[in-house]
Amino acid sequence: RKEVEQDPGPFNVPEGATVAFNCTYSNSASQSFFWYRQDCRKEPKLLMSVYSSGNEDGRFTAQLNRASQYISLLIRDSKLSDSATYLCLEGSARQLTFGSGTQLTVLP
Amino acid sequence: NAGVTQTPKFQVLKTGQSMTLQCAQDMNHNSMYWYRQDPGMGLRLIYYSASEGTTDKGEVPNGYNVSRLNKREFSLRLESAAPSQTSVYFCASSDVTIRTGDPEAFFGQGTRLTVV
């Protein structure tokens, strides 16, 4: 079983919609989680960190549920420019483990 | 602000040829990584180096070797390229941030390798 699992999608949503992705992890001792965004044929870039208390940045909200061992990313009022692949990351000082990514397409 | 620099950006190899992908970071990070990314497979870890002088296998190490030449540089070598190694390769580096205690990772721009 992969240590970090994501629904690959694709998610096709209309502009203005709210969309949510989940990512489950298997290591209950994991401490640090992140969401990365990857545009087509480009390198992944940090979108936001995920804290136990939740983390909100504009239209984006990230949450961590330790009891059920998953993290989530909520995007409100989707824009065309949000179309990308979203990768969750479980990180430690020694190793980074990515999910396989969820593809989002926002349609006009 | 170079960050993580990978070379080359594109490469075509014939089956059986060898090559080395170079990666350098200027952020004084301890940890460096090599990933490959194939359609629908996400980022899969090939090898990583938690510190200068150490390397460890990741999820898909077969057919690859690595060298952590110094703190800045981490190279990936294909000794005898195979068509199954056609992929996009990303180098990354990370370290624990002083401010938050969380690891912070940065990626190179990728190497698109085709083995024919």
pLDDT band at residue A40 using 50, 70 and 90 as cut-offs:
confident
**pLDDT tier for residue A27 given thresholds of 50, 70 and 90:** confident
B103 vs A: CB within 8 A = yes
Kindly tell me if the per-residue pLDDT of A54 is higher than 90. Answer: no
Q: What is the pLDDT along chain B (116 residues), one digit of tens a residue?
A: 579 999 999 999 999 999 999 999 999 988 899 999 997 778 889 999 988 889 999 989 999 999 998 999 999 999 999 999 999 999 999 876 655 666 678 899 999 999 99
Closest A-chain CA to B42 = A100
Report residue B86: phi and psi, to 5°.
-65, 120
- ∠ Cα A77 A80 A83 (to 5°): 100
In the predicted model, is pLDDT for residue A30 greater than 90? no
Residue B74 CB partners (closer than 8 Å, separation 6+): B23, B24, B32, B33, B34, B49, B66, B67, B68, B91, B93
pLDDT at A9: 81
Give the model's pLDDT for residue A52: 77
Q: A78: which 2 tokens?
A: 């989707």
B28–chain A Cβ distance below 8 A for any pair: no
* Contacting residues of A for B103, CB less than 8 Å apart: 32, 91-93, 96
